[in-house]
Structures are given as C-alpha cells and as structure tokens.
Chains A and B, each alone.
Chain A
Amino acid sequence: ETGVTQTPRHLVMGMTNKKSLKCEQHLGHNAMYWYKQSAKKPLELMFVYSLEERVENNSVPSRFSPECPNSSHLFLHLHTLQPEDSALYLCASSQVDSNTGELFFGEGSRLTVL
C-alpha cells in the first residue's frame, strides 16, 4: 500500500447508526486532516492532527468524533448523523515542516445518511 488509503469508499447509514471512517497514510508524514466536500461547495477543513495531537477543531458538531492513535492512522467516528452530513469525506496527510504546503489526499469516503 502506498499514499493515503481511506476505507470504506462508500457508506450508507441511518441517522441512529454509529460507524467509523478510517484513514491510513504510508508516507511518513506527521500531520493528518479531515476535510468535508459537499456538492458545489468548497472543501471544509474539519480537524487537524499534528504529531497525534488535535490542533484544530473547526467548529465541527460533536456527532463527528476524530481519533488519531498514531501518526499513520486517523479515524472519524460518526453517530446520530443528519441527512445534511451526506458528503465526501477526505483524509489528507502532510509533513508539517515542509514549505511546499502540499497535502496528500486519499480518494475519500462517500457517506450517505438516510
């Protein structure tokens, strides 16, 4: 496996379900990110982890709960979601001290909330 891998690629859940999105990076990076992408809207930054510590929580509702157990893995735990939470959830990683500002994205998890 190389790059940034996200699972599952597609997820359908009811509003009362609990599910998790997983992200794994094989690039040796020290920062990981969750972004939300809704149709015709800009990518919205949700959470940033640097060296496994959360450094940004962008006013995200508590029904989204991130977890970063180590520098290679990032989870997004989902519970009691709303239909408007349906979107593509993108994970990214980067080397924080790199001056290129380049983020490496996974292919995303397409979430549908019924």
Chain B
Amino acid sequence: EDQVTQSPEALRLQEGESSSLNCSYTVSGLRGLFWYRQDPGKGPEFLFTLYSAGEEKEKERLKATLTKKESFLHITAPKPEDSATYLCARRAGGYNKLIFGAGTRLAVHP
C-alpha cells in the first residue's frame, strides 16, 4: 500500500537549535510531494511543492528537499513561532487528491 511516513512523531528543540524532519514515501513515479504546517485548532496551511529529486524550496527558516525516496524539511535556527505540526503529503491521482502522513509535532522552546 502506498504510504507517506513521517518521523519523528514529535520533536522538541531549543530556540536556535537547527534540525530536520523526515518524510518517506513508497510510491514510484511521484507526482508531487507537499509540505503543510498546521497550528492547533486550525486547518493545514500550504508551505511547499516539490516534484523532482534534487529540488529544493526555501521560505524563511524552512528549506524542503527531495530525493527519490524521501523529503526533508530543514529548520534553521528555529523560533518559538515555528512550533506547529508539519504535514507531508503526496499526490494520489487527479483532482489534487493528497495522501498525508501523520505529521511531526514540533515544539520550539525559548
């Protein structure tokens, strides 16, 4: 079964302590890998789309990278406002149908 697996399930960082979140997928012929951020009590908010191995996207302290088997979300010098659940998803057919991973809950402490 095609899956999207995220690790770790939860991550606690000190402010300024850089780290990476992992997203692995088992499907061949990836048609898009997506990262979203979800704050408590809110819906997910789109961050990045990646299509090809070697592709990278950046936004402020976040950088997403893609290989043939996995994607990483690198967080450089995080701040408490970066605390959220980060979701990874892949496209699963037409109509922008997405299959999501369970997410990584990130907590950044001052």
Residues of A bordering B, CB below 8 Å: 4, 31, 33, 40-43, 45, 48, 50, 55-56, 90, 92, 94, 96, 98, 100-108
Contact = CB atoms under 8 A, between A and B. Distances in A.
B86 interface: no
A42 B4 contact: yes
Contact of B98 (A50, A55, A103): A103
A90 B42 CA distance: 9
Contacts, number: 64
A45 B95 contact: no
Given A42-B100, A101-B96, A108-B42, 18 more contacts: A33-B97, A40-B102, A42-B101, A42-B103, A43-B87, A43-B100, A45-B99, A56-B95, A56-B97, A94-B96, A96-B94, A96-B95, A96-B96, A101-B98, A103-B98, A106-B43, A107-B43, A108-B41
Contacts of B95: 31, 48, 50, 55-56, 96
B98 to A, nearest CB: 7
A42 B91 contact: no
Contacts of B103: 42
A45 B99 CA distance: 7
Question: B32, B46, B101, B102: which has the most chain A beta carbons within 10 Å?
Answer: B46
A42 B9 CA distance: 12
A100 B94 CA distance: 13
Nearest to B102: A42
B44 A102 contact: no
B54 to A, nearest CB: 18
